[in-house]
Amino acid sequence: MTSYPWQAGTATGVGSYPGDDPREALRIVLGELPKLPHLPELPARGPGADLTGRTAGLLIDLPVHLEPSGWRFSDRPGRDTRRSLDHLARDLDALEELAGAHDGPFKIQVCGPWTLAATIELRSGERALRDPGAVRDLTASLAEGVAAHVAEVRRRLPAAEVLLQIDEPGLPSVLAGTVPTASGFSRLRAVEEPVAEAALRSVIEAAGAYPIVHCCARNVPYALLRGAGAQALSVDLSLVSKRDDDAVGETIDAGTALFLGAVPATDAALPSLRATAEPVRELWRRLGFPPARLAEQVVITPACGMAGASPRHVRDALKRCRDTARMLFEAAE
């Protein structure tokens, strides 16, 4: 039977939070999600704290800078790369200060190679995704940088088990050939699934941490992500439809964990606890799996990152995730 690095009945967050104080955000995470805390991301701090810029700062020998159109590769490191690294250094200092003694699973997040390739521009202004050679260089650089980042987190949290979440919200568009060119008048050629899988696998294998892939979009390529080595998949439950049943069922049957986004990530009236849990149960029943496995194999999360939410909603949503996970666990006993 597959074992997981978290306890049954666990909840966690996806990544981003509102505000600009890393210590305050981490205190909230540690308080509300004690079984599986994670390192919060605070994009409100500005360039270098966003999804692309934060991970671009980890790239080895591939500096970037910010243009009006977005992130672009540079000849040498500059102010924008330094700012990305400064944000991350402050986050890691807060992590060591507040969670240095944590002795359970702990999750960190980075942007995946295909979402990076679809957002970072070449010096010409076109997206890196257009150039297969640039994508290979980007993937190799990312693999090396993420491995160093995982090692640094392990140094700061010596008793923890590090879980690595790779964010790939852009991957379905990359596979479908719907990523626009720089002009916006055309679309970049679709990437073949074996190529996409191989690049993602190289990052997962280099990191050497428990791998989770997050994709909060429609048309999640479940089989590709499992083939790349993901041991858990993080998705927005509201986007999982009956047409996904075969792929989701194969994922569960393979022992791959599901991080199900069951709680609204932006300000909204939260449904009752029972109503929050019911879509999770309904999916499990529809696919015919034993109820006892649900609380072990499923982790409850917000639907996506929470950077656009109010601080009050963040606390309420995280508590709802935790209470939902506990309810599902108790119901299975």
- Which tens digits make up the pLDDT trace of 127-159? 999 999 999 999 999 999 999 999 999 999 999
The answer to whether residues 270 and 259 touch, using CB atoms and an 8 Å cutoff, is no
Instruction: Taking residues 194-200, report their average pLDDT.
Output: 98
pTM attached to this predicted model: 0.96
State how far the Cα of 259 lies from the Cα of 235, in Å rounded to an integer: 6
Band of residue 1 on the pLDDT scale cut at 50, 70, 90: low
**What's residue 100's pLDDT?**
95
Burial of 255 (0-12, 13-18, 19+ CB in 10 A): middle
Residue, of 116 and 185, whose pLDDT is higher: 116
Asked if residue 263 has pLDDT above 80, the reply is: yes
The answer to whether residues 52 and 70 touch, using CB atoms and an 8 Å cutoff, is yes
- Which tens digits make up the pLDDT trace of 223-257? 999 999 999 999 999 999 999 999 999 999 999 99
- Per-residue exposure over 8-45, b if at least 16 CB sit within 10 Å of its own CB, e if not: bbbbbbbbbbbeeebeebbebbbebbebbbbbbbbbeb
State how far the Cα of 61 lies from the Cα of 314, in Å rounded to an integer: 37
- 318 is written with which tokens? 């995280």
What does CATH list as the number for 22-44+98-332? 3.20.20.210
Band of residue 118 on the pLDDT scale cut at 50, 70, 90: very high
**What's residue 333's pLDDT?**
62
CA dihedral 232, 116, 175, 199 (to 10 degrees): -60
DSSP state string for 246-272: HHHHHHHHTT-EEEEEEE-SSS-PPPP
Hey, where are the domains in the chain?
A: 22-44+98-332
Of all helices (H) and strands (E), which one includes residue 165?
strand 161-167
The 3-state DSSP class for residue 37 equals coil
Q: What percent of the chain has pLDDT over 90?
A: 94
**What's residue 196's pLDDT?**
98
Instruction: Taking residues 314-326, report their average pLDDT.
Output: 97
Instruction: Taking residues 178-202, report their average pLDDT.
Output: 94
**What's residue 267's pLDDT?**
93
Band of residue 104 on the pLDDT scale cut at 50, 70, 90: very high
- Which tens digits make up the pLDDT trace of 36-60? 999 999 999 999 999 999 999 999 9
Asked if residue 160 has pLDDT above 80, the reply is: yes
State how far the Cα of 92 lies from the Cα of 86, in Å rounded to an integer: 10
* Helix spans in 268-307 (H): 273-287, 291-297
- Which tens digits make up the pLDDT trace of 62-99? 999 999 999 999 988 889 999 999 999 999 999 999 99
Q: What does the mean pLDDT of the chain come to?
A: 95
- 138 is written with which tokens? 């980007």
Q: What percent of the chain has pLDDT over 70?
A: 99
Residue, of 75 and 191, whose pLDDT is higher: 191
